[in-house]
A = this chain, B = another copy of it.
Amino acid sequence: MRDFSGDHQALSINTATVRKQARLDQIIDACARRDIRMICPWRDQVHAVGLGGIAAQLRAAGIELSGYCRGGFFPAADDAGLTAALEDNRRAIDEAAALGSPCLVLVVGSLPGALTGKAAYKDIQVARAQVLDGIEATLQHARQAKLPLAIEPLHPMQAAERACVNTLEQALDICDALDPEKSGALGVAVDVYHVWWDPKLAAQIARAGRERLFAFHVCDWLLGTRDLLNDRGMMGDGIIELQKIRGWLEAAGYRGPAEVEIFSEDWWARPLDDVLTTCIERHRSVV
């Protein structure tokens, strides 16, 4: 297993972690000052500054992407919605390619309308079928663009609103169905927050193997979690065995970065510098 204690070469910052403190160009500058060499930006953050400007800034700073967030949200209530989702995913792929991202992270979506409080239907099996179809259709464009898709299983507490892919096993079943040859075009993003509880986690990481493991996201699960979405913990502040899980990924061949992605009202309320400094410290000490 790689030793992270001596430096933070393997650290990536998912820029949602500090999205309330600064614009993306400011975040990139702050990362560059700390010799953070990788980020994973969100589309809205890129759009707010401009794709061309961000791409130029990244090149000038020598900062690379560990991923691009996000594609997905395939299920829809009607054909127009399904078509719009596919178009949006093609745009996301093109943006990811323009930024030199190694993959597009897919938060696949679930019951249409659920995020705004009213589901168009309740049948999660329908949503799962629409996700399978959506990924299959999107994969064609992704292959042409040579831009791999990383399915991110989300915690079951997000199953109604954000993702009907909720275990690594389920994500890998989709990969095997749509890319049985393990071409490198389709894989998974393993976020410890979403999967740490899974009794089959070790076995499914081994099953994934190097060919399917496109991203590794870290944060922590806090005891007494107060919110289903925005109460994630800084690495080391909760109960996830980060090094053990990283060990499983590395045993399967993963050699990529550990990407910090923390949705937290607490951490969004702290100064950008403090958050990045803490991420570096914890990356070296507990990841």
Contact = CB atoms under 8 A, between A and B. Distances in A.
A155 interface: yes
Contact of A156 (B117, B119, B156, B226): B156
B223 A118 contact: yes
Contacts of A124: 196-197, 241
Interface string A192-227: 000011110000000000000000000001011111
A160 B122 contact: no
Contact of A167 (B199, B224, B226): B199
A201 to B, nearest CB: 10
Size class of the A contact interface (CB-based, 8 Å): 35 or more
A111 B239 CA distance: 9
Contacts of A37: none
A176 interface: no
A223 B239 CA distance: 27
Given A223-B119, A239-B114, A157 B156 contact: yes
Contacts of A223: 114, 117-119, 160-161
A170 B157 contact: no
Contacts of A239: 111, 114, 119, 122, 160
A60 interface: no
A240 B167 contact: no
Nearest to A115: B223
A178 interface: no
Interface in A133-171: 155-157, 159-161, 164, 166-167, 170
Given A117-B223, A122-B240, A241-B122, A157 B199 contact: no
A141 B159 CA distance: 39
A160 B221 contact: yes
A228 interface: yes
Contacts of A244: 123
A90 interface: no
12 contacts: A122-B239, A123-B241, A123-B244, A156-B198, A157-B157, A157-B228, A159-B197, A160-B197, A160-B221, A160-B223, A166-B197, A226-B228
Interface of A: 111, 114, 117-119, 122-124, 128, 155-157, 159-161, 164, 166-167, 170, 196-199, 221, 223-228, 238-241, 244
